Amino acid sequence: MRHDDNLTTERPTFVTHLECGMTGERYDADQIHGLSRVGRPLLVRYDLKALGAAVTPADLAQRPADLWRYRELLPVRRAENIVSLGESTTPIVALRKVGAGEGARNLLVKDEGRLPTGSFKARGLVMAISMAKELGVTTIAMPTNGNAGAAAAAYAAQAGIDAVIFCPDDTPEINVREIAAQGARVYRVNGLIDDCGKLVAAGKEANGWFDLSTLKEPYRIEGKKTMGLELAEELGWELPDVIFYPTGGGTGLIGMWKAFAELEALGWIGSKRPRMVAVQAEGCAPIVRAWEQGERHATRWEDAHTVAAGIRVPQAVGDFLILDAVRDSNGFAIAVSDAAILEAVEDAARLDGLLLCPEGGATLAAWRAAIADGRVSPDETVLLFNCATGLKYPMEDRSATLDRHGPIDFSAL
């Protein structure tokens, strides 16, 4: 079913205003916004009482299985401004053999690699680009470690919006070429993602670009929060005990925490919350360091490096929102080694047939570490996030060669 077949042009909309995630200062909806006056992310607020009277979980069950089924809880007001590449519901897959190795029976993975452009960045960017279209933005610019830029380029192409993307010069080659193939102007930069972000800020001043950087506009959070809405519905409106989330900019963790609060206010779930675990790499762990030191903000991590490029974010503008969610949920932040990440990717593929991306592998490695030190019990229901298809990443060649013209010892094969 096409989206304009099931959405009226003038959609029932429940957005009331935006507010600063730190100070609570209110901002008008339906206007272009970046950060708040104090330089912090803006959060979209809804009239949840009116929304709850207009839609029920039973209504959702009758709709197409995609992100836009939650339209009343999303900010786009006019259906013609929706850009979509088919953001289907992603499956929850059990890692039975990997879990059994630690005595666990409820180890689950939400496999976001099934989304358009092969990653969960599609959720945030489809919403950000749809809202950019609705608000009349003509050119967006953003920094990326790869997958976010690919999603932005794809949706911008469909929306007719120019896209300028800056990425570190060691960004995976497939991502750089994917961004360019989808019509964006992409530049490799001799620096990290926050260095790329500085170029976006300078270009915004010079050229009037709209800055679509993580959390520097209000709507990527709204797209990413659909992960929380969706997993709640998939699990029968019961939340898992623990969620392990690969944390760079942390938009998804923040968005899910927001989703759970909205669902409780609607009466669709109870007060139970998962323990939220922010997973980082040992070579780039600013959130872990801040959590361990009891800080509300995370200072920049110098010399950031890891095989999991998607979580190589030296400093996050939404650091306090990530840390608030972790602490409010009784969760924790944990860093894992690159060796543990690569081992986890290999084990999930070899034992359970699920090809994780490195960032997804980090969540499995973190779960193993938390099982080992007792922070998580094998009896708990745990949900890991695989944020992109493993097919985008280099794999070791373990094939052998046969000469079809010579003798073949089939007993040895």
Q: pLDDT by residue (tens digit) across 17-71?
A: 999 999 999 999 999 999 999 999 999 999 999 999 999 999 999 999 999 999 9
> What was the pLDDT predicted at 10?
54
pLDDT exceeds 70 at position 390: yes
Query: In terms of DSSP H, where are the helices of 145-301?
Result: 147-159, 173-181, 193-207, 219-224, 226-234, 251-266, 286-293
Listed in sequence order, the DSSP H helices in 7-106 are: 48-54, 57-61, 96-100
Checking 28-34 for CB contacts under 8 A at 24+ apart, the result is 29/75, 30/77, 30/135, 31/135, 32/135, 32/136, 32/137, 32/210, 33/217, 33/218, 34/211, 34/216, 34/217
Neighbours of 331 (CB within 10 A): 23
- Using only C-alpha atoms, the chain has a radius of gyration, in whole angstroms, of 21
pTM, rounded to two decimals? 0.93
Q: Supply the pLDDT for residue 13.
A: 81
Phi–psi pair at 109, nearest 5 degrees: -125, 125
Per-residue pLDDT at 11: 58
SS3 of residue 90 by DSSP: coil
Which one, of 70, 64, 66, lies nearest residue 51 by Cα? 70
Complete edge-to-edge strand list for the sheet that includes strand 185-189: 185-189, 162-168, 139-143, 210-211
Dist. CA 71–CA 76, nearest whole Å:
8
Ordered by start, the domain boundaries in the chain are: 8-81, 92-114+225-391, 121-211
Pick the CATH number of 92-114+225-391 from 3.40.640.10, 3.40.50.170, 3.40.50.1100, 1.10.1200.10: 3.40.50.1100
SS3 (DSSP) at 235? coil
pLDDT score for 394: 87
* Torsion from C-alpha of 251, 256, 261, 265, nearest 10 degrees: 120
Which is it for strands 15-20 and 26-27: parallel, antiparallel or unpaired?
Answer: antiparallel
C-beta neighbour count of 350 within 10 angstroms? 10
Per residue in 263-277, pLDDT (tens digit) is 999 999 999 999 999
Mean pLDDT of 182-207: 95
Q: How many CB atoms lie within 10 A of CB 49?
A: 11
* Cα dist from 339 to 87, 130, 361, whole Å: 33, 39, 10
Domain 121-211 belongs to what topology? Rossmann fold (3.40.50)
275-281 vs 26-27, strand pairing mode: unpaired
d(CA 261, CA 244) in angstroms, rounded, equals 18
Q: What is the mean pLDDT of the chain?
A: 94
Residues in contact with 129: Cβ distance below 8 Å, sequence separation at least 6, in sequence order: 83, 140, 152, 155, 156, 158, 159, 161
